[in-house]
Amino acid sequence: MKQFWWARLAPLVACTCLGLVQGCGPGPGYGIRSRPRKLTPMRYKQFFPNFSENTLGASGRAEGKISRNSERFNQLVCNYNPDIVFKDEENTSADRVMTKRCKDCLNRLAIAVMNQWPGVHLRVTEAWDEDGHHPPGSLHYEGRAVDITTDDRETKKYGILAQLAVEAGFDWVHYESRYHIHCSVKADKSEAVERGGCFPGWARVTVPGGRQKTLSSLAPGDRVLALSGTGQVVYSQVLLFLHRDQERRSTFVSLETDGGRRLVLTPHHLMFLDPDCRRSEYQARFASRAKVGDCVLIISAGGGAETSRIVSVSLTESVGVFAPLTEAGTLFVDGVLVSSYALLEDHKLAHWAFGPLRLLHSLGQLFGGETAKEEQKASTKTVTHVGTLAPMDQAGIRRRDNLSEPLAVKDGEHCFLKMSDVHWYARLLHRFACVFLDSDIFHP
């Protein structure tokens, strides 16, 4: 019996790794779709994400001006990509100087531009600034920002160009001027580049009997209310915690619904949103994309499932970060349906990638004296039936009614991917995904 189970486990693990390899990218020549795609152009003066540039939710704070004589100048690189036109009006090659992260994003964008408009190339009008032409604190002084156009200078293309820049992985994109798009990135060594997705410790889940339990008191083996892949509300077993730190202070997105629910989670955690409130079309989206008017799925007072519209979106800070992984891959936190996964905007792919870990857990239960049949019966008790989760479509841009007042995020403390509090399997998948998957499905 033992040999039979492990014989089945080996090819499944191999297939997981193979699937990640087959999705290779990003990088020059890889990871960018060549087929035409319908994109939503960014509006003039709009920026994404909807935070100020120097906040944690975007490119982060400035770290100081870099000059040619400074030690940090050695960390910058030159971009000699022949598919990019560099204006270089100073004749110093300063517009080719940038951080490695900025260079990687720019190279991906160059490919996307050629795919979108054959014969058209990306043009950089400003990158690293050594002459003091920008306001104090500008990321141009660190090689972390670029101003871009297309080489044909057709301004009608710039809305699409801005959206392509978002998909290329820039941490902040601003349709700043009628004549260029401004893009910037986090510092290369910023801890914010790698982060987990979590909920605060005081957030509550529903356990059998209708009782409420805080995430800080939740333990592996507990069963919580969740939604199965077939659209049934079930009690699903908590297998483990992908991230657990009781003392970390983090910045969270706070969503309030017209049904009186309040959900608090990190911006890069997945939740299920429906902008049209059609109930059967919920898509996995980063919490940072949620906007007023979107609908979420909540548990009603009678235990059934119903839609509820978001009426408020804000930011808050709290202590404690917890990310439970359930057998179903979903759970209801404070009555609102969310995913167990974060960072990657593809719930189905994430759930599939964690299949070997769920299988290992099942094997542990089997060899520990519990039958799989009994556990499955206990963890999939049906309460009611709702529409199935629809597959992810092209991600849109999160908007607010008043774009002149971005949400302020305190720079500094947030939900990091630390070796001590993130599960080893999650860290392993994150490293594989960063190497082999397209950047446009990661949190911007």
- Residue 13's contacts (CB-CB under 8 Å, 6 or more residues apart) are 356
pLDDT tens-digit series, residues 100-146:
999 999 999 999 999 999 999 999 999 999 988 899 999 999 999 99
Q: Is the pTM of this model over 0.95?
A: no
Tokens standing for 290? 């949620």
Q: Is the dihedral of CA 152, 109, 294, 413 positive or negative?
A: negative
Q: Which residue has the tokens 């141009």?
A: 140
Mean pLDDT for 381-393 is 39
8-state DSSP, 133:
-
Q: Are 266 and 249 a contacting pair, CB within 8 Å?
A: no
pLDDT tens-digit series, residues 338-355:
999 887 788 888 888 877
**Torsion angle of the four alpha carbons 413, 263, 212, 330, in this order, in degrees rounded to the nearest 10:** -90
Q: Is the dihedral of CA 288, 44, 439, 77 positive or negative?
A: negative
Predicted local confidence at residue 371, as pLDDT: 39
Q: Are 155 and 166 a contacting pair, CB within 8 Å?
A: no
Q: What are phi and psi of 229, to 5 degrees?
A: -65, -20
Q: Which residue has the tokens 């792919």?
A: 349
pLDDT tens-digit series, residues 17-72:
433 333 333 333 333 344 455 788 999 999 998 888 988 678 888 888 999 988 88
CA distances from 377 to 224, 235, 337, 405 (A): 14, 10, 22, 50
User: Is the bond leading into 200 cis (omega within 30 degrees of zero)?
Assistant: no
Q: Predicted confidence band at 197 (pLDDT cuts at 50, 70, 90)?
A: low
pLDDT tens-digit series, residues 321-342:
898 999 999 999 999 999 998 8
CA distances from 266 to 138, 249, 286, 319, 437 (A): 27, 11, 9, 12, 22
Predicted local confidence at residue 187, as pLDDT: 86
- Flag the least confident range among 2-6, 204-208, 216-220, 277-281: 2-6
